[in-house]
Every structure is written in structure tokens, then in C-alpha cells.
Chains A and B, each alone.
Chain A
Amino acid sequence: MALFEEKIQQQLKEILKSMKEEVTIVNFTQEIECPMCRETRLFVEEIGSLSEKLKVKVYNFVTDKEIAMRYKIDKIPAIALLDKDEKDYGIRFYGLPGGYEINSFLGAILELSGKREPIPDELMKRIKSIDRDIHIQVFVSLGCPHCPAAVSTAHRLAMENEHITADMIDANNFVPLSQKYNVTGVPKIVFNDKFELIGAHPLNTFLDVIDRLKDYGINID
């Protein structure tokens, strides 16, 4: 139990007090733990011990293959967040959400627990009208101060519409994947492998890109 300093632990406890309902943290690792897998497991276990409303489940990516497939986990370390009924909204964190990304992780937990800021009606209508599968990958580096905002926007979209799934990906933990997407600036936000945004953007820009995907008739693989 040494990942969080005492001061941070207290702050986390304080923040997690405002959770409304339970949230389940599902972590995938493996027996001989991959780079950052051990730290990520310790991270979820430690954070899980800071609130009674957090449940933690740790699975083995290799031996619990069926469960990994059910959650469509294709790389580790991975974290999925589920709501009080263990419903999966497609909210994923690939790599340890440390550095500035702790903020998007806590934000997703609080929002999934029911503590959500309202979205203006007009934007909400646009979100609800999305009827195609949209997969958003947000590449970040942990030292990037404006990345958590992009991750939170993507995750919020996933919460509000079941056709949308959203991943945070620590680009420095998944180097070949980042190279595949030519990530040299973060946040880099990739929509269904087709369109990308670079930098922090407001919710309506995300929706504009999703609208353009519709025009192209692109669906998720």
C-alpha cells in the first residue's frame, strides 16, 4: 500500500464520499504481470479500499479469457468501470490512469455513480440520436494537463448512449498501438479508426465528428 501518499489518500477518500451509488472496477492483468500491470492492479486495489461504494474485481487476461472477451478487452493493463447493476457502458482505461489522468478516472467513477453535471438539452438530444456504433480512442500521456478533459468527454458520451464506447489509452504504455495511429501529440482522439481530433475539444466538436462519420456510413469493425 504505497502507491498513494497519505495526503493523496485523504483527498481521494474525500472526493469518493460524493459517490451516489456503487461502482465496480474491473481490472485485467496476467500471472507474469506485464509492464505496469502490477502497478495498475495495486492502483485499483488501493483505490477500491478508499470507499465502501467501490467494488474491485481482478481477472487474469489469459485464464479468464471468456470474461476478457465479454468485456472486449484486447490489451492489458485494462480497467473497465461498471455501474451499480454491473452494467457495462464501454468505459475503458488502458494503462494506469496516473499523473493528470487520475482526474478523468475519478470523474468517470463519480459520473457512473450518478453524480453528473447536466448536459444542455440541445447537446443531449444530439447525443441520444446517435444510432450507430461509435468507438472513441483517446490517446494521452500522463504528464498532459489538458488530456483528462478529452477522456472525460469521451467517457461521458459512452455513458449517455449505449452505441458509444470510449477508451483512455496511455500512449507511452502501448507504443506499437500509438505508432499505428501515429500519435506524436496528445490528446489524440480517434473515432472508429476513421477520423481524428488533436487537442482538447468541447463536446459539440466530438458530436460534429460523429455526424461526419454518419455521412460516410462508417461502422465499427
Chain B
Amino acid sequence: MDFNLTSLSFLNESKFNSIDTSKVYDIVIIGGGPAGLTAAVYAMRKGASVALIAKHAGGQVAETSGIENYMGYRYINGLELVDKFKDQVLHFTIDYDEGGEVEAIEDEGIKKVLLKDGRIIKSKSLIIASGKRWRKLGVKGEDEFIGKGVAYCSICDAPFFAGKKVVVVGGGNSGVEAAIDLAKVAKEVIVIQNLDKLTADKILIDKLNSFTNVNFLYKTVVREIIGDSFVKTILIENTELLQKSEIDVDGIFIEIGLVPNSDFVRGVVELNSNGEIIVDCSCSTSARGIFAAGDVTSVPFKQIIIAAGEGAKAALSAWEYLLNEE
């Protein structure tokens, strides 16, 4: 029996002060993943007054089972790494809010962060490190059958498909990882990939190929998810032959990557065609005094170690900006 203890959520929490809406902070950080937490450490070390707003501490890392490419750790559990990040932030007294969600930001020289619960936080500069969330397929039936055969989290929901026939949509790392989780329990797994090959890391593809109950459909997309009280059938299309067909399935896991959480900054800073915040090599956005870091930005490659490095850079840039403003 494993115990995935998030020990720090129980300890020392008192060092976190609640956010003061009457004050103007030097730096407000939006996001509690590797980028946001690293930015907090760098900003606090400079002596800036800092507030951090996190919807989920740890972000995607908290939902990752094992990490094997964060330097210093040959292997570490996702929550454990988040705990260590948080511990390092806790070394300082920081104004911190977990659970709060940002509705919008306004830039009138002084930046205003509007939370969904009505609070408004003021700051001289901002670091946006709001990360990404699961991408949806956007087909008919998807929303209707969430939790009724449509799933996104394989480590959560794979056990419920023991002995069943399931489809995994996506041939990247998250898709292949989900297919591996499912192949261990399901009767049959069908991986549907829009390209003509998988794009996951070789080490993962090799592992998936060691199962005998996995089949692949390439150059294929899902057009519709059909069922009554439960998913029963999916309508797929081969994009080369333009042939549509139906397959009967018990479940469908959608693992087609991520979309940036940038809706609340639309119109304030420039975004690229993927919705990512465009940053230069100093993490500056198109708006003065607003910086961004991690998966929400246009920086190529979304990795924990890259996000953490970008968070550090954003904090140092924000500090330099504050010095020059005074």
C-alpha cells in the first residue's frame, strides 16, 4: 500500500498570510506550479512584497505520478516535488491564496487582478504563470458523457475499465502513458492518432509495445461520441481515405495535450495563435510590467525544469523593472 502524503499541506501553513486587498504589492504571481513557486522564491529573496495566487498548488506536477527528468532527483513522485517546492517558498513569509481563481486583469499603470470571488489585488508588476489545462476534443457527446465513459485522468479512472474495451485519443506522451495504464487492466486498448505515427518518447512507445492487447489507428480522428446513459460507440474518420466508421467501446480517454490558461489576459497582453502569452527572452510580455513564465507562454518545450527556470527569470526581470521604475 502506497501513501501519497502531501505533508506540507498540514504543516507550517501559518507562515502563509492571506492576501491584503488594501495594499499595492511589488509583484503578484498568478499560478502555483513550478514557474510560479520558483518566481516566488526569487522575488522573496530580493525583498519584494509578493502575493501568490494559486488555483491548485503544484499545477500539473501535482497530477504526475513519477518524474525522472528533474535534475537532482533520479526519480521523484509529483506531489513530493510540489511539497519540496512549497517548502522552499514557505521559508519566507508570503501572502498566499490557494483556490482563488483569476477572472481578469486590468492594466492602468498599477495592475489589478480581479478574482472570481470579487476580490481585487493591486500590484506594480505581475508574473503570469497560470500554466495549461487538458485540451478537449470538442466533438458532440464529449461533455455529455464526462464520467460516463469519457475520461481525461488515466491514473484516476483506469481501474474502472478493467476487462473493458477502451479507446485512447492521442499518440503523444500523455496518450501513450494513458494507454500503458489502461493496457494493464483493460481487455483491449485502441490508440487513435491523427498523424501517421506516435510522437511519444521512444522509452514510452517501447513500453506500450510490450503489451499484446493494444491496437493502433493512425491518420484517424474522432468525430462524435455516442451512447445513451453511457458511451457505447464512437464515430471515427480516416483522414486519408475520408472514410467514416463506427466502433463500439466502453470508454474513451482523451489525451490530446493541453491548452494555455490565458483567457483572463486576452486583450491585455499579446498571445500567439495557440493562445500562449508571447514573451521575449527576459520573460517580458507586450505590456510593461507584466511578465510571464512556464507552460502558459510561447517558450518552446513544456518541462518542469524549463518552467522553473523561466519562473526565476521572470522574477529577476520583474525586480529589475521595479528598480528602473523608481
Residue of B nearest to A97 (CB): B3
Given A184-B149, A202-B99, check contact A141 B3 (CB 8 Å).
no
| Chain A residues closer than 8 Å to B243, beta-carbon distance | none
A67 interfacial by beta-carbon distance below 8 Å: no
A177 interfacial by beta-carbon distance below 8 Å: no
User: A186 CA to B6 CA in the complex, in Å?
Assistant: 19
By the criterion CB–CB under 8 Å, are B63 and A146 in contact? yes
| Chain A residues closer than 8 Å to B235, beta-carbon distance | none
Residue of A nearest to B164 (CB): A184
By the criterion CB–CB under 8 Å, are B4 and A99 in contact? yes
| Chain A residues closer than 8 Å to B326, beta-carbon distance | none
- Name the one of B3, B6, B62, B230 contacting A182, with C-beta atoms under 8 angstroms: B230
By the criterion CB–CB under 8 Å, are B3 and A99 in contact? yes
Task: Report B1-54 residues with CB < 8 Å from chain A CB.
Answer: 1-7, 9-11
| Chain B residues closer than 8 Å to A102, beta-carbon distance | 3-5
A172 interfacial by beta-carbon distance below 8 Å: yes
By the criterion CB–CB under 8 Å, are A183 and B160 in contact? yes
- B49 shortest CB reach to chain A, Å: 24
A124 interfacial by beta-carbon distance below 8 Å: no
A4 interfacial by beta-carbon distance below 8 Å: yes
User: A15 CA to B78 CA in the complex, in Å?
Assistant: 20
User: A107 CA to B9 CA in the complex, in Å?
Assistant: 9
| Chain A residues closer than 8 Å to B170, beta-carbon distance | none
| Chain B residues closer than 8 Å to A99, beta-carbon distance | 1-4
Residue of A nearest to B99 (CB): A202
Task: Report A68-101 residues with CB < 8 Å from chain B CB.
Answer: 96, 98-100
| Chain A residues closer than 8 Å to B5, beta-carbon distance | 8, 11-12, 102-103, 106
By the criterion CB–CB under 8 Å, are B10 and A106 in contact? yes
Given A106-B10, A110-B10, A182-B229, check contact A144 B146 (CB 8 Å).
no
Closest 10 CB pairs of A and B: A198-B147, A185-B147, A144-B156, A184-B160, A15-B10, A98-B1, A102-B3, A11-B7, A100-B4, A143-B155
A interface residues, Cβ below 8 angstroms from B: 3-4, 8, 11-12, 14-15, 18, 39, 43, 96, 98-100, 102-103, 106-107, 110, 141-147, 171-172, 178, 182-186, 188, 198-199, 202
Further 5 A-B residue pairs, CB within 8 A, beyond A11-B5, A184-B148? A145-B78, A145-B79, A147-B156, A178-B160, A185-B151
B interface residues, Cβ below 8 angstroms from A: 1-7, 9-11, 56, 62-63, 65, 78-79, 99, 146-151, 153, 155-157, 159-161, 229-230, 251
